[in-house]
Amino acid sequence: MGLKLKALCKSPWIFHINTGACNNCDIELVDALTPRFDVERLGVLLVGTIRHADVLVVTGGVTQQAAPRLRRLHQQAPKPCLVIACGTCACTKGIFHDGYHMVGPVDEIVPVDIYIPGCPPKPEAIIDAVVKLLRKVA
Protein backbone atom coordinates (compact mmCIF):
# COMPACT_ATOMS: atom_id res chain seq x y z
CA MET A 1 0.00 0.00 0.00
CA GLY A 2 2.87 2.40 0.73
CA LEU A 3 4.26 1.86 -2.77
CA LYS A 4 0.86 2.71 -4.28
CA LEU A 5 0.72 5.99 -2.31
CA LYS A 6 4.21 6.94 -3.51
CA ALA A 7 3.17 6.32 -7.12
CA LEU A 8 -0.02 8.30 -6.53
CA CYS A 9 1.96 11.33 -5.36
CA LYS A 10 4.17 11.24 -8.45
CA SER A 11 1.62 10.45 -11.14
CA PRO A 12 -2.09 10.33 -10.27
CA TRP A 13 -4.19 8.69 -12.95
CA ILE A 14 -7.75 9.98 -13.05
CA PHE A 15 -10.99 8.50 -14.27
CA HIS A 16 -13.89 10.83 -14.98
CA ILE A 17 -17.59 10.03 -14.67
CA ASN A 18 -20.55 12.31 -15.37
CA THR A 19 -23.43 11.38 -13.06
CA GLY A 20 -25.97 13.88 -14.35
CA ALA A 21 -24.19 17.14 -15.15
CA CYS A 22 -24.97 19.66 -17.88
CA ASN A 23 -21.47 19.04 -19.37
CA ASN A 24 -19.99 22.44 -18.41
CA CYS A 25 -17.82 20.82 -15.72
CA ASP A 26 -16.78 18.13 -18.20
CA ILE A 27 -15.63 20.77 -20.68
CA GLU A 28 -13.60 22.57 -18.01
CA LEU A 29 -12.06 19.30 -16.82
CA VAL A 30 -10.98 18.44 -20.36
CA ASP A 31 -9.72 22.02 -20.75
CA ALA A 32 -7.41 21.45 -17.77
CA LEU A 33 -5.88 18.53 -19.70
CA THR A 34 -5.11 20.64 -22.81
CA PRO A 35 -1.66 22.13 -23.47
CA ARG A 36 -2.79 25.56 -22.24
CA PHE A 37 -3.14 24.39 -18.62
CA ASP A 38 -1.23 21.10 -18.97
CA VAL A 39 -1.91 19.07 -15.84
CA GLU A 40 0.27 16.36 -17.34
CA ARG A 41 3.23 18.35 -16.01
CA LEU A 42 2.02 17.21 -12.57
CA GLY A 43 1.86 13.63 -13.82
CA VAL A 44 -1.94 13.63 -14.11
CA LEU A 45 -3.18 11.27 -16.80
CA LEU A 46 -6.76 10.62 -17.88
CA VAL A 47 -7.34 6.86 -18.14
CA GLY A 48 -10.15 4.94 -19.81
CA THR A 49 -10.89 2.43 -17.07
CA ILE A 50 -11.43 2.73 -13.33
CA ARG A 51 -9.26 -0.34 -12.76
CA HIS A 52 -6.17 1.71 -13.67
CA ALA A 53 -7.20 4.91 -11.87
CA ASP A 54 -5.98 6.40 -8.62
CA VAL A 55 -8.48 9.27 -8.55
CA LEU A 56 -12.17 9.27 -9.43
CA VAL A 57 -13.45 12.66 -10.63
CA VAL A 58 -17.24 12.95 -10.46
CA THR A 59 -19.20 15.76 -12.13
CA GLY A 60 -22.89 16.41 -11.66
CA GLY A 61 -25.45 15.62 -9.03
CA VAL A 62 -26.12 11.90 -8.79
CA THR A 63 -29.27 10.75 -10.57
CA GLN A 64 -31.25 7.63 -9.68
CA GLN A 65 -29.84 5.89 -12.75
CA ALA A 66 -26.22 6.84 -12.02
CA ALA A 67 -26.11 6.03 -8.28
CA PRO A 68 -25.63 2.24 -8.57
CA ARG A 69 -23.08 2.73 -11.35
CA LEU A 70 -21.09 5.19 -9.22
CA ARG A 71 -21.09 2.77 -6.26
CA ARG A 72 -19.93 -0.07 -8.53
CA LEU A 73 -17.15 2.04 -10.04
CA HIS A 74 -15.93 3.03 -6.58
CA GLN A 75 -15.89 -0.62 -5.51
CA GLN A 76 -13.95 -1.65 -8.64
CA ALA A 77 -11.27 1.02 -8.18
CA PRO A 78 -7.95 -0.09 -6.74
CA LYS A 79 -7.57 1.08 -3.16
CA PRO A 80 -6.80 3.72 -2.04
CA CYS A 81 -9.00 5.54 -4.53
CA LEU A 82 -9.40 9.24 -3.97
CA VAL A 83 -12.65 10.93 -5.00
CA ILE A 84 -13.04 14.49 -6.26
CA ALA A 85 -16.48 16.11 -6.47
CA CYS A 86 -16.12 18.61 -9.31
CA GLY A 87 -18.67 21.42 -9.62
CA THR A 88 -21.54 22.79 -7.59
CA CYS A 89 -23.93 20.03 -8.67
CA ALA A 90 -21.54 17.32 -7.46
CA CYS A 91 -21.04 19.14 -4.15
CA THR A 92 -24.63 20.20 -3.34
CA LYS A 93 -26.93 19.23 -6.28
CA GLY A 94 -26.83 22.88 -7.38
CA ILE A 95 -29.76 24.00 -9.53
CA PHE A 96 -31.13 20.46 -9.55
CA HIS A 97 -31.71 20.69 -5.78
CA ASP A 98 -35.44 19.89 -5.98
CA GLY A 99 -35.25 17.52 -8.95
CA TYR A 100 -37.33 14.37 -8.65
CA HIS A 101 -34.62 12.33 -10.35
CA MET A 102 -31.75 13.37 -8.05
CA VAL A 103 -30.56 10.98 -5.36
CA GLY A 104 -28.11 13.45 -3.86
CA PRO A 105 -24.69 14.98 -4.08
CA VAL A 106 -21.71 12.68 -4.54
CA ASP A 107 -20.83 12.46 -0.84
CA GLU A 108 -24.14 10.72 -0.09
CA ILE A 109 -23.16 7.87 -2.44
CA VAL A 110 -19.37 7.50 -2.04
CA PRO A 111 -16.88 9.17 0.33
CA VAL A 112 -15.37 12.36 -1.13
CA ASP A 113 -11.82 13.51 -0.44
CA ILE A 114 -11.93 16.99 -1.97
CA TYR A 115 -14.60 19.34 -3.30
CA ILE A 116 -14.24 21.80 -6.19
CA PRO A 117 -17.09 24.32 -6.07
CA GLY A 118 -18.10 26.46 -9.02
CA CYS A 119 -20.52 26.36 -11.90
CA PRO A 120 -18.44 25.42 -13.80
CA PRO A 121 -15.17 25.36 -11.87
CA LYS A 122 -12.31 26.97 -13.76
CA PRO A 123 -9.36 24.84 -14.87
CA GLU A 124 -7.18 26.74 -12.40
CA ALA A 125 -9.45 25.59 -9.55
CA ILE A 126 -9.27 22.00 -10.79
CA ILE A 127 -5.46 22.14 -10.91
CA ASP A 128 -5.36 23.71 -7.44
CA ALA A 129 -7.58 20.93 -6.09
CA VAL A 130 -5.36 18.23 -7.62
CA VAL A 131 -2.25 19.83 -6.09
CA LYS A 132 -3.96 20.04 -2.66
CA LEU A 133 -5.04 16.41 -2.98
CA LEU A 134 -1.47 15.33 -3.77
CA ARG A 135 -0.21 17.28 -0.74
CA LYS A 136 -2.88 15.65 1.41
CA VAL A 137 -1.74 12.19 0.29
CA ALA A 138 1.96 13.00 0.75
- What tens digit of pLDDT does each residue of 60-95 get? 999 999 999 999 999 999 988 899 999 999 999 888
Instruction: Supply φ then ψ for residue 84, to 5 degrees.
Output: -115, 125
- 90, part of any domain: yes
- 18, part of any domain: yes
- 130, part of any domain: yes
pLDDT band at 4, cuts 50/70/90? low
Task: Kindly calculate the radius of gyration of the chain based on its CA atoms and give it in whole angstroms.
Answer: 14
- 3, part of any domain: no
Please check the confidence at residue 1 and state whether its pLDDT lies above 70.
no
pLDDT at 84: 94
Q: How many domains does the chain have?
A: 1
CATH number of 26's domain = 3.40.50.12280
What's the average model confidence in pLDDT over 39-52?
88
Length of the chain: 138
- 2, part of any domain: no
pLDDT at 42: 79
pLDDT band at 136, cuts 50/70/90? confident
Angle between helices 123-137 and 2-10 (to 10 degrees): 150
pTM over 0.75? The answer is yes
Taking CA 128 as the corner, what is the angle to CA 123 and CA 131, rounded to the nearest 5 degrees? 130
- Say how many Å lie between the first and final Cα of the chain, rounded: 13
Domain assignment of residue 126, given as a range: 11-137
Each residue of 7-42: pLDDT tens digit?
566 788 999 999 988 889 899 988 988 888 888 887
- 5, part of any domain: no
- 29, part of any domain: yes
